[in-house]
Amino acid sequence: MKQNLRGIKQQELKEEIKNLGIPAFRAEQIFISVHSKLAKNLDEVKGIPKELALKLNPHFTIEPLDLITSTTSKDETVKFLFGTGDTISRKVKIESVLIKEEDRNTVCVSTQAGCNAGCEFCATGKMGLLRNLTPAEIVSQIYEIISITGIVPSNLVFMGMGEPFLNYASLMDSLEILTDKKGFGIPSRRITVSTVGFTGRIKKFADDISANANLRNIKLALSLHSTDRGFRETLIPVSKKNTLPAIYDELVYFYRKTGNKVTYEYIYFEGLNDTDNDVKRLAKLQRMIPSNINVIPFHPVDFELKPPLDILNKKIHEKIIHGKEKSLSNSKNLLDFIARLRKERVTVNLRSSSGVDINAACGQLAVKN
């Protein structure tokens, strides 16, 4: 089977080229064409003789993703539905999102088709896991969006479909490829990786990015959503084995190892995770290490949820249908919750519901394969 050049790190490509009896400097030329010039096939690889391209052809290919459709929201957020190419025996569909803001353009990247974390509030989790994406498929989401829109993203967030730490090897390979200065060359400080938290994996991530100068400033976001262990285990089933105390210890290790501030993602479930005790625990948590909390409105989903989220999901749906919920970010109770956090000197940001009208917001990505 031919290897997809989009998924091969520069050093690995040099070894592959060397084994074919080709001078190593050709590998850098190929890498630049694939990841900086965004060549879509071997014919577009610049600077190499025709006979060399013929020699590469039996061993390598460049396999872009297939754009199936794209949808643009009222706020100009764009959701892309991609199909994987022929290099994987089981084709799947995945979604990626381009979020346009005044000072940045962010691509929300998927690492899995579906997800095996099974979070109760997440449409992707309800799909189950179809398969992990390859490094080439992860990287290609960004390259296809650039090709389609002409917009080069300033930021990348690994918060799309899937749990990045459950496809760890492909995640790390894609990060190395994307930050390579001979290729796409995005600074690591402009990358955020999100996880629900797995014992041992956060520490490994801290060790791995610290050992690579191109990766060391990558930000980590924990999908927290509740500081109450019982309620969090209802929301995130894998947290029964990956308990909050253990995850907190790993976050402390991450900060001490990398010096990078941690972000806590906190979906607001009205009446469920906004009590005075929640505010006090969040304030205590933020004093543990430098961090900030991103509060995200709960985005309704089109499937049945288990109690107690089922009632809340129906309530928000009804408000939207009857025109009583013009903006999920302007709920009086949500703004009051944020005010109480700030009163406790918590650094908190309210995340906008970008793309909610096209099911592109947090927790809404899902496809039928």
Selected catalytic residue, list 63, 95, 176, 250: 95
Active site residue 265: no
Asked if residues 264 and 293 have their Cβ atoms less than 8 Å apart, the reply is: yes
**Token pair of 312 as six digits:** 């809340």
Q: Give phi and psi for 71, each to the nearest 5.
A: -135, 135
Sequence-ordered list of residues with C-beta below 8 angstroms from that of 174, at least 6 positions apart, any chain: 7, 111, 135, 138, 139
Q: What count of other Cβ atoms lies within 10 Å of the Cβ of residue 326?
A: 9
The owner of tokens 């908190």 is: 348
Cα Rg, the chain, nearest whole Å? 21
Handedness of CA 259, 353, 111, 130 (dihedral sign): positive
Residue 360's nearest CA partner among 209, 176, 48, 145 is: 145
Active site residue 362: yes
* Torsion on CA atoms 179, 184, 189, 194, rounded to nearest 10: -80
**In 155-261, at which residue ranges do the beta strands (DSSP E only) sit?**
155-158, 191-195, 219-223
Selected catalytic residue, list 108, 119, 122, 362: 362
Question: Looking at residue 240, what DSSP letter applies?
Answer: G
Q: How many CA atoms lie within 13 A of 102 on its CB side?
A: 0
Active site members: 95, 362
